[in-house]
Structure 1
Amino acid sequence: MADLADHLFVALVLPLTHDFRIDEPGLRRLVRHYAENKKFAAVGGLVANPEAGEIFYLSQDEKRRALDIVMEEASGKMPILAGTFGWTTHDVVQTAKDAKAAGVDGIFCIPPAGAMDITTSWDAEKYPEVWLDQIKEQDRAVDLPIFTHPVAASTAAYGIGLPKEPTLQICREVPNVVGWKMTYSYGGHRLISRALRSQAPRVAIMGAAAHYFHENLATGDFRGTISGSWNYALNPMLSHIEAWRRKDIDAANQIWNGGLVQLHEYIYSEWGRLHIRYKIAAWLCGLVDSPLMRPPMPKPRKIEVDTIAKLLKEAGIETISKPDPEMAA
């Protein structure tokens, strides 16, 4: 379990056809982009059906099919986690069972969604069982390593991440939880990292918000990742992490300040556009054939396409030559 949490997991975007079906050949190409990169495959991993992969808008059959494709292309080459979101706890448990049957290395648990009672109005500190009970149901059903996607109603202390006390309660009551994705503000990341290191040291700190990686690596608040930023900046991100790990601070600073931080900062500058921008960037890198997501996810805006194209080039990342203007609103 410990080794699994050391990996740099990609939260995969989902290639779609013009009529919003899963682009199966496109998904295979995307997975091979990572699995056939020997340098990345040695340290990386894949998350099938994460939030960035539009799991909220997939049927049960589509979730199984997307996972099957990822497993067919990358199983045995790198670790694979599967997102287990569903609209009811019954659906979530079935999704977890499907993932285990497919042979995944672990599951990626996403909080419940739906009524405001468990979304915008959920008081996670007072009622931790809203998510904790669902995690326990999955744990009993599949007994696999668990990584979390701990988004919650925004707070001043933590941003959009789960507060400290319910975090520690989940880690304490579910021993299979081995990785905690850092869906937090910078200050929240620091608070949760300290709490995990001191009170739940077996649970790995999994970097997510890539615009914080430089500081996170400097302070040691970083073990593995579960991040959508690997969809657009694989090579410079990998070189940056490698530089930190060999303690070459000059090289790390050069990569970070050579355009990588500016790119990440724009991608993460509006949380309500994050997944749209992941996919725009993946499209501009030629990794997917369309930047569009399933409605109600909105179309990208031209200013976003133009800005991301410019920032990718400034970071030294190759892009497609002529983006289709019809792909943007």
Structure 2
Amino acid sequence: MKLTHTEQKTLSHKLYTALVLPLKDDEIDEQGLRQIVRYYAEHRFSRVGGLIANPEAGEVAYLSRAEKRRVLKIVMEEAGGRMPVLAGTFGWTTKDAVEAAQDAKEFGVDGLFVIPPAGSMDVSVAWDAAKYPEVWIDQILLQQAAADLPMFAHPISNSTPQWGLGLPLEATLAVCRAVPNMIGWKMTYSPQGARLIARALREHCPNVAVMPSSAHLFHDYLASGWQFDGAISGSFNYAMEPMLEHIEAFDRLDLEGARKIWNGGMARLHEYVYAEPGRLHVRYKIATWLRGLIDSPLMRAPMPRPRAEEILVISKLMTAAGLNVTRSQSEQVF
């Protein structure tokens, strides 16, 4: 990877949308995908933000290699160089993940969004990341060797009281020290865990950007003054405009303006979306659909179907937050 420190910072200090994937009859809605990418590319968001194709929110675990390649092709075409694009490289085998990295490089993406292994309990629910960090490091290094692109981490792990859903401190530092191309760390942590991880990255791996993810905690991270280099979040799918205004208010030290947005309904909306980790991506897609940005809230099975009560609650919270809900009452319940 041949990037100067300034180039690394330019790439990592961005607001990245983890794109949901429009589907139609359980297949990729290509026109719908083009439309949502244009929504970002034609907005001033493109000057400060970027997109992630094939993230977890984009149902990457349930896409074939051909489908992931098709998503990359469409996103790159529609982004048209107006903002950076990262590619999620999740694969059920390491071979799959390496091929995804190679495909990403072929399509000219700006970086890789690497996700830990899944499947067998040995590498998922029973994985002790602090003791055996090589379970993920080995896979990342093979992707780095295959593509040699800047890397951003999606450090999801077993849920713990201290770290939330994020990789523990020892493993975080092990990954960042072992992977020269790592320049961004998605903060998938509890508030306490995020603070400890961010401080450790500042002290030991200063070239790795601290990138909050959980939008219901953005106000606190921004207020800290040091826990927000950029962001990686699926919430930009459904609330990009007010979220951008909220961040910009902090940038110009307008605390009153930031509070007005946050306390005006944005906090409560995000809090509901993030209340249950097992419903997070379902709710991302519901909210994006309610805004009229995609034509269906359905995800590919075995991802769960939305419940009518979720749709109604999110609709009310979005309206209260000043977001335009375009779906009719009859469409909202099914």
TM-score (norm 1): 0.98
Question: Which of 246, 270, 280 is the matching residue for 1:264?
Answer: 270
TM-superposed CA distance for 1:320, in Å, is: 1.1
> 1:84 & 1:2 partners in 2: Cα distance?
22
Could you say which residue in structure 2 is the equivalent of 1:284? Answer: 290
Task: Give the corresponding residue for 1:25.
Answer: 31
- SS of 1:212 mapped into structure 2: helix
1:156 to partner: Cα distance = 1.4
Of 249, 259, 271, the match for 1:253: 259
1:186-205 equivalence runs, <5 A? 186-205=191-210
- Give the unaligned 5+ runs of structure 2: 1-7
Deviation at 1:324, TM superposition (A): 4.7
Would you say how many aligned residue pairs link Structure 1 and Structure 2?
326
Matched AA of 2:210: I
Change in 2 beyond 3 A, CA 1:323/1:146: farther
Distance across 1 between alignment mates of 2:233 and 2:327: 26
Q: Which of 228, 248, 270 is the matching residue for 2:234?
A: 228
State which of 238, 247, 256 in structure 2 corresponds to 1:241. 247
Whether the aligned pair in 2 keeps the contact of 1:282 and 1:288 (CA below 8 Å) is yes
Letter in 2 for 1:12: L
Match of 1:3 in 2: 10
How far does the alpha carbon of each residue in 1:24-63 deviate from its partner, in whole angstroms, 9 at most, with x for none? 00000010000011x1110010000000000000000000
The answer on whether the counterparts of 1:299 and 1:327 sit within 8 Å (CA) in structure 2 is no
> Taking structure 2 as the reference length, what is the TM-score of the superposition?
0.96
- Matched to 1:270, the amino acid is E
1:268-321 deviation per Cα after TM superposition (whole angstroms, max 9, x unaligned) = 000000000000000000000000000111110011000000000011000114
Letter in 1 for 2:13: D
| Superposed displacement of residue 323, structure 1 | 4.8
- C-alpha deviation, 1:267, in angstroms: 0.3
Which whole-Å CA distance do the structure 2 matches of 1:184 and 1:300 have between them?
A: 25
Aligned counterpart, 1:146: 151
Residue 115 of structure 2 aligns to which amino acid in structure 1? I
2:302 counterpart residue number: 296
Counterparts of 2:332 and 2:243, CA distance in 1: 30
- Identity, in percent, stands at 60
| SS of match in other structure, 1:276 | helix
* 2:319 is the counterpart of 1:313: yes
1:158 lines up with 2:170 in the alignment: no
Q: Distance in 2 between matches of 1:262 and 1:49?
A: 28
- Measure the CA separation in 1 of the matches of 2:191 and 2:291: 28
Amino acid at match of 2:317: L
C-alpha distance in structure 1 between counterparts of 2:322 and 2:277, whole Å: 25
CA RMSD in angstroms, aligned pairs only = 1.0
Match of 2:5 in 1: none
